[in-house]
Every structure is written in C-alpha cells, then in structure tokens.
Amino acid sequence: MFERYMVTPEIPFDLNNIDPNFSENFKNKKDVEKEFSKLKEKLCDLQDILYAEGKRRILIVLQGMDTAGKDGTIKHVFKEVHLQGIRVANFKSPTATELAHDFLWRVHKEVPGNGEIVIFNRSHYEDVLITRVHKLIPEKIWIKRYEHIRNFEKLLFDEGTIILKFYLHISKDEQKKRLIERRDNPKKRWKLHKEDIEERKYWNDYINAYNEVIAETSTFYAPWYIIPANKKWFRNYIVAKIIVKKLESLNMKYPDPEPGIENIEIE
Amino acid sequence: MFERYMVTPEIPFDLNNIDPNFSENFKNKKDVEKEFSKLKEKLCDLQDILYAEGKRRILIVLQGMDTAGKDGTIKHVFKEVHLQGIRVANFKSPTATELAHDFLWRVHKEVPGNGEIVIFNRSHYEDVLITRVHKLIPEKIWIKRYEHIRNFEKLLFDEGTIILKFYLHISKDEQKKRLIERRDNPKKRWKLHKEDIEERKYWNDYINAYNEVIAETSTFYAPWYIIPANKKWFRNYIVAKIIVKKLESLNMKYPDPEPGIENIEIE
C-alpha cells in the first residue's frame, strides 16, 4: 500500500524518475482533509499506547533540500501528539567538540528511549551529503560512512528502535517558488540567506549524492521513503499515513495494571 | 491582572486559604472556550517569534500533587505550538549516576537554550518535597537547598531565562475523584499504583512542605503561581493566559533580514 514510496535495495532507484507533483488520485487538499484528520487522531492514540507501553523507540528521520518542508511536516503531522513523549532533534553545524569526535557521536546521544518518538530534523545523513557536495572531507572518509550508518541503524533496530526515513522530494522550480515566498514575506524573510540561493547551483550535485546515499542506506530495518512533496497537503497526508500504518503493525498494548488494583479502596 | 495568582514574598501565604475550586466569574468551560482558543493561537505566534529571535529562554516548572493535572496542562495548553522549539523534561527517580552528584546537576543539563521553551514536568522541587516528607535526606541537607535553588534560578535569570513556576492546586477530595476515575478506566488503570493511594496519607505533610518551599523560593525573578486546578478548563485557561501575558511583555521581534535580501534575484 505505501510500499510504492519505499526504496527497496532490489529495485534500481533514481530521484530524477520520481514526480514531485504526484498525489495519487487526489486533486486537492479537500480530498484528503477528512482522512488526514483521522490519521492525526490515530497517531495521537497510538502515541499514547507507545508511551504507556514503554517498550519501543521510534526514530523518524527527515531529509530534503532547503524548503522541502521538514519544519512544515513536523508542525502539521504531529500537531495533536502529546508533547510528553515526542521530541525534535536538530543537527546544525557541528560545534568544535562535536567535530572532535566521530560523526555519529552527537547523533547517538539524541536517539529515542523507550516509549519515545524522536524526529531528526536533518541528521547524520548531512555528513555524507553537504560534506561531500562541498568537498569538506575527502572521499576516502565519506565513502566508508555508508557502512557506518548501516551498522549504526542496525544496532538501534536490534535493540528495539523502529526507524522511518523520509526524503521530502520537491522540484527545483518548486524550491524557487518557495524561496520567493520567503523573500516576500516579512515574517519569514529573516530565514533567507544569500547562501541559500548560492546553494541552488549545486542542485544536481545534491540529487546525485542523495541518489547514492539513499540506495546505499535503504535497508529492511531502516527503509527510506521518497515522499512527493510539491503539494504540501499530500506530503503531510502520506507521511502521517506511513507512520500510522507502521505503529498499527506493532500491535502495542497498554501495560497490565498492578494485580488487584481495579478493586482497591480509595479513601 | 494575574498578580492575584502570584506568590509575593511580602504577603503571607498558605495553600489552605486558597480555594482549588475558584474560577473567577466563569461558570463552565463554555465561558472561556473562545478566549482559550485565542490564547493558544497567540502562544503559537509568540513561540514563532521567540524561536526566530533566538535570544530568550523560557522555563516553565509544573508542580502539584499526583493527578493535579501536570500532563493535562502540557497536553492542552501547548497543543498548537510548533514542536520545533518546545520540549518537556521529566525528572523521575534519580539514577545512580545522578545521585552521585549534587541535586541540581541533572536539572541544569535540561534548562532551555536560546529560543527554546522547556517544560519541567516535576523538577528540582521534588528534592525539597518528597525527600523531606519521606525523610530520605536529613534536614540539615534540604534546609540549605532553598538557598541553592534561589541562587540557581537567579543564575538562569541573569543569563537570559524567563522562569514561570506553577503549582496546580487541587483538593484532597478532587484527587480522590480522579484516582477513582483512573482505577475505573481500563486505558488509564496501568498508571495507578498502590503507593499512589498510600501517598494520600501524607497529604497534609505535602501541603506543609509546599507552603514552606513556595514561600522560600517565590522571587521576583522566578515567581510561583498558585493555579486553582479542580476545574481543568480553568486551570488550562489561566496557565495559558499567564504565559501569553509574560511572552507579550517581552516585546520580541523577528530578526532583521540579511541586508539587501528583499531584492535578491532567485534563479
């Protein structure tokens, strides 16, 4: 059902062949509105059980070009979820201390604990993307990182973490539209920097890097999903749907109450 | 306006004299519904500026008896706020490593950074409450902690943190009602433990401890607010209102955009 968005190691994969405008048979926001509301409610209920059960850990990785909608996805998909059990981890430019360690050191500290959902807004994948496109580190270093990422994610998986990785797929034209919106909106202009526009020159380099990274690191234990993201409403809907289906498949349960508690006298 | 809920060092204060059923002139949920919705929207807008500005840090401390509504407050007041800039910190029973340090060590690690809101769901105040009521540490230790807490909060304040502390004030009868609800609801029963009911025997000891703690640590830089909390809708409304008024008083602004960015060409 949502396997169509999953990258499987067996099938050759190229972002250039995936339409960022795709939206199944839905024409506009209205078409998914009702189901999206239901999905958000379900997500809320499932998170309640996840937290109560306290056995599984959910890691959601969001990647995409600038303006692809990482923040918007976080804002809209998780709106109803109880703050108590969910958290966003941001990975900005590494500090001196972080750079003085291996690239997974700062990432490992942020992974979810039992009952927790953690959303990585950007992630360790930047360490094989921006670092490569801008030649910040030599190939002999980053080429080995695919294996380190696979091993790291296998560790998390084997010890109880469910990992879902989303690439939010927009077109270069759509990015242009969004950057112009950002430039022309006084409340959002502060977010725009000249370097964001410079960065567009490397669009194809990023696509090529993503193609390789995603193919190298989409595994059965930590699959990548490519989300057509030109239409924000479809992006939110499909991300919510994939997460809900995954959580439903876990058959989680509220913990058993303390024996005899249902008849206890409360004075 | 909301000074009536604030504990000021000059005025003698006793929880026994504050009515947990108080709800101003409002009779029921309907009476505050509209304004509460507006407050949530405002909180959302203010948090957007807070995050963009990246200069202030907001620390919200929630304390109260078991079932007082700490979780419910978090869930309902912050529902609309963008996950990106807000986080809950829980302080459960300290680990061996945490116990091997001073009582503020694990707390200090969780304080908000620039642009961030952090909610303490329970806090360092447990270290002068439960530890005292159950005689886990000797008086000569906890008696000094009031000063350490004041000094710690003054440090945070002087370096840019706004601190709001809420005591959610319910009656012993209301707690009984809520514990029975918990017992009789299969989705919530797992939360109830025999020790929660045992703990009710210490109700007056806790009230006395809170009276002293709050009087000792309500300062101009980190005031306590006593929130009548028998009526959940009033509790949520008044907590939201106090936070919004505080954030509004900061006169925050979106950062200035990069010079010339409003006319930049985007290819």
**A102-122: per-residue pLDDT in tens?**
999 999 999 999 999 999 999
Helices (H) and strands (E) in chain B, counts: 10, 5
- Alpha-carbon distances, residue B164 vs A174, B11, B118, B250 (angstroms): 42, 19, 11, 14
Task: For residues B29-55, give the mean pLDDT.
Answer: 96
**A74 to B84: CB separation less than 8 angstroms, yes or no:** yes
Q: Does B44 lie at the interface with A, CB-CB under 8 angstroms?
A: no
Whether the per-residue pLDDT at A154 is higher than 80: the answer is yes
CA nearest to A205, candidates A122, A125, A130, A142:
A130
**Which domains can be identified in chain B, with CATH numbers?**
3-249 (3.40.50.300)
CA nearest to A156, candidates A58, A238, A37:
A58
Residue type present at position A207: I
Task: For residues A18-46, give the mean pLDDT.
Answer: 97
Contacts for A97 with CB less than 8 Å, ≥ 6 apart: none
State how far the Cα of A29 lies from the Cα of A23, in Å rounded to an integer.
10
Q: Does A83 lie at the interface with B, CB-CB under 8 angstroms?
A: yes
State how far the Cα of B150 lies from the Cα of B219, in Å rounded to an integer.
8
Task: For residues A115-144, give the mean pLDDT.
Answer: 95
State how far the Cα of A266 lies from the Cα of A109, in Å rounded to an integer.
42
Whether the per-residue pLDDT at A2 is higher than 80: the answer is no
**A84 to B121: CB separation less than 8 angstroms, yes or no:** yes
Which of chain B's residues have a Cβ under 8 Å away from the Cβ of A118?
none
* Greatest C-alpha distance within chain A: 71
For B256, nearest residue in chain A (alpha carbons)? A190
DSSP B124-169: GGGGGTHHHHTT-S-HHHHHHHHHHHHHHHHHHHHTTEEEEEEEEE
Q: Which helix (H) or strand (E) holds B86?
A: strand B86-90
User: What token pair was written down for A52?
Assistant: 């109560």
pLDDT of residue B79: 87
Distance from CA of A215 to the nearest CA of B (A): 29
Q: Does A177 lie at the interface with B, CB-CB under 8 angstroms?
A: no
Contacts for B110 with CB less than 8 Å, ≥ 6 apart: B89, B118, B120
pLDDT of residue A94: 93
Supply the DSSP symbol for B83.
Answer: G
Task: Encode pLDDT of A241-265 as tens digits.
Answer: 999 999 999 999 999 999 999 999 9
Place of tokens 């289906």: A245
Q: Does B259 lie at the interface with A, CB-CB under 8 angstroms?
A: no
State how far the Cα of A135 lies from the Cα of A128, in Å rounded to an integer.
10
Other C-beta atoms closer than 10 Å to the C-beta of B228 total 20
pLDDT of residue B204: 97
Contacts for A73 with CB less than 8 Å, ≥ 6 apart: A62, A166, A168, A235, A236, A239
State how far the Cα of A79 lies from the Cα of A63, in Å rounded to an integer.
19
What's the burial of A128, exposed, middle or buried (CB within 10 Å: 0-12/13-18/19+)? buried
Q: Is the CB of residue A77 less than 8 Å from the CB of residue A44?
A: no
pLDDT of residue A12: 86
Task: Encode pLDDT of A165-199 as tens digits.
Answer: 999 999 999 999 999 999 999 889 999 999 999 99
Q: How far is CA B180 from the centre of its chain?
A: 25
Q: Does A77 lie at the interface with B, CB-CB under 8 angstroms?
A: no
CA B203-B3-B144 angle, to 5 degrees, is 50
How many CA atoms lie within 13 Å of A140's alpha carbon, on the beta-carbon side?
A: 0
Place of tokens 């059965």: A220
Q: Which of B190, B194, B256 sits opposite A190 (nearest CB)?
A: B256
pLDDT of residue A9: 80
* Greatest C-alpha distance within chain B: 71
Task: For residues B203-222, give the mean pLDDT.
Answer: 96
Q: Which of A192, A193, A266 sits opposite B179 (nearest CB)?
A: A266
Residue type present at position A21: N
What's the burial of A29, exposed, middle or buried (CB within 10 Å: 0-12/13-18/19+)? middle
**A186 to B254: CB separation less than 8 angstroms, yes or no:** yes
State how far the Cα of A132 lies from the Cα of B102, in Å rounded to an integer.
44
Which of chain B's residues have a Cβ under 8 Å away from the Cβ of A198?
none
ipTM for this prediction: 0.88
pLDDT of residue A10: 81
Specify the 3-state DSSP secondary structure of A161.
Answer: strand
**B83 to A78: CB separation less than 8 angstroms, yes or no:** yes
Supply the DSSP symbol for B68.
Answer: S
For B191, nearest residue in chain A (alpha carbons)? A257
Calculate what percentage of chain B has a pLDDT beyond 90. Answer: 94
Task: Encode pLDDT of B133-188 as tens digits.
Answer: 999 999 999 999 999 999 999 999 999 999 999 999 999 999 999 999 999 998 89
Q: Does A253 lie at the interface with B, CB-CB under 8 angstroms?
A: no
- pLDDT category of residue A1 using cuts at 50, 70 and 90: low
User: What token pair was written down for A4?
Assistant: 């169509």
Q: Which of B82, B88, B179 sits opposite A84 (nearest CB)?
A: B88
Contacts for A217 with CB less than 8 Å, ≥ 6 apart: A125, A146, A149, A150, A153, A165, A224
Place of tokens 């960065």: A199
Q: What is the mean pLDDT of chain A?
A: 95
Whether the per-residue pLDDT at B1 is higher than 80: the answer is no
DSSP B211-242: HHHHHHH--SSS-EEEEE-SSHHHHHHHHHHH
State how far the Cα of B26 lies from the Cα of A213, in Å rounded to an integer.
58
Sheet of A57-64, strands arranged across: A86-90, A117-121, A57-64, A161-169, A224-228
Q: What is the mean pLDDT of chain B?
A: 95
Task: Encode pLDDT of B89-139 as tens digits.
Answer: 999 889 999 999 999 999 999 999 999 999 999 999 999 999 999 999 999
Whether the per-residue pLDDT at A151 is higher than 90: the answer is yes
Which of chain B's residues have a Cβ under 8 Å away from the Cβ of A52?
190-191
